[in-house]
Amino acid sequence: MGVVWLAEDRVIGRQVALKELRTSSPAERERVLREARTAGRLNSPSVVTVHDVVVEEGTAYIVMELVSAPTLADLMPLPADRVAAIGLAVLDALDTAHAAGIVHRDVKPGNVMVLPNGQVKLADFGIARAMDDPRLTANGGVMGSPGYMAPELFAGQPPAPPSDMWALGATLFEAVEGRSPFERATTAATVHAVLNERPVPTHLAGPLSEVVLGLLVQAPATRFTAQQARAGLQRAASADAETVVFPKADDGRDVRKIALVGGGVAAVLALTAAFVLLPDDDPGERAVASTPSPVSSTSAPASSSPAPSSSAPPSSSTTTTTRSTPPAPPRIVPLARFKGQDNWSYTGSSLLDVPMGYAPDKALGMVLTQQEGGTRPLYSCQVKDSPGRMTSLSATCETQRVYGVVGYVYESQPPADKPSQELFRCKAGDRHFDSNEKHCDGQQLEFSLGWVLVDREQ
């Protein structure tokens, strides 16, 4: 594995990170040095700066900006608006790189560094990934972490900006969900998931969900572009979208009285972060990155103090803030139907943001917020190439776009101590809607979605 040294640039008088690259051949070393020099041309506040590359006694070193901060992998999961803001910063870094003809090829939470002041820096632009992490793969010059590699890379296509967009989508998904969308127990299973599966979010919702799922489209030609991603991330980060306020399940109010309010809701969460000078595991994925520094005239090992990733960080470089624990979510939440333009219908709960343009129409009961025995997830779907919505029991939304999990419904009628009513999916022309009435308000009955709870006082 590679080693990161804490070094001093004696010419300028600053501390830098010195990354030792273990290459297996002169050709490989030359490739790494060439890529490092290319990355050194990038000029963006969202990119970890590469100051210099040097070769000393046959060993290559990259001199980088020293960044003492946790990575996104250390902090996640995070609220959606915070993740959207981080995504915009990463997108800025990728835009700078792509404009310079550079493809990152290894965007992932471990390479996104989040500074104490909120600034974000993207590290490791294609530098020595295979040498730093045994989980990485290299084949025909294509390198990356399998769980974040775009499907076309496994087909032998060269890395390109769309493959970085895919990796950004996987990174943002994991930042909110706290789990990788495609990583499985084996590399083969991971590759199969990347090639064939659609991720199913449980926490992603609203504009951020649309961006992430748009980035994780297998076909690069229809995948979200950087411009599309930026527009959606700006919406998600601004919290300006309309929000529906649902009454609490136990506050005694009629669940049919649902108010639509405009404006944003801001949530502030104090996060615990340990800002360390050097990491305690993989140095290529955590707190240290470096920038080119004019030290080529200095022997690298002689001017640096070894600080391999296994060493404990000095206590003076650690800062801790207090974490505010959010309250536990309610066990059940109201379910309601909303009407949109052109007779489209949307069924949702407070677990998902109501899409813009939809107004409250009818209360449908209550759904569980977590899966229990005898229940199944109810998915909200976006109909492709239209503003339409539909509800489904399929994790793939019947080949439509997954918007999120509305809640959990009972597969069969629960015991009498749990008052309930059946929920049906209906169809009017090519529009789908949900109803508690089996006659579907005079329209076509499709099938039963399951059983929802009802308010005891109704």
Tell me which residue of 194, 189, 148 sits closest to 171, measured CA to CA: 148
Q: How many CB atoms lie within 10 A of CB 228?
A: 15
DSSP string covering 395-437: TTGGGSEEEEEEEEEESSPPPTTS-EEEEEEEEETTEEEEES-
DSSP string covering 215-234: HT-SSGGGSPPHHHHHHHHH
- Please report which helix (H) or strand (E) contains residue 449, including its range: strand 444-453
* Catalytic residue, candidates 52, 106, 282, 434: 106
Tell me which residue of 200, 195, 231 sits closest to 213, measured CA to CA: 200
Q: Both ends of the chain: CA-CA distance in Å?
A: 64
106 as an active site residue: the answer is: yes
64/51 Cα distance (integer angstroms): 5
**Residue 231, exposed/middle/buried by CB under 10 A (0-12, 13-18, 19+)?**
middle
**Tokens 């009802």 -> residue:** 454
Tell me which residue of 159, 173, 153 sits closest to 125, measured CA to CA: 159
DSSP string covering 44-94: -TTBPPEEEEEEETTEEEEEE------BHHHH-S--HHHHHHHHHHHHHHH
Query: What SS3 class is residue 206?
Result: helix
Give the type of residue at 247: P
Residues 6+ apart with CB under 8 A from 321: 270, 271, 272, 273
164/159 Cα distance (integer angstroms): 8
Task: Return the structure tokens found at 109.
Answer: 């939470």
DSSP string covering 279-344: -SS-TTTSS------S-TTS-TTTTEE---TTSPPPGGG----PPPPPPPPPSEEEEEEEE-GGG-
Catalytic residues: 106
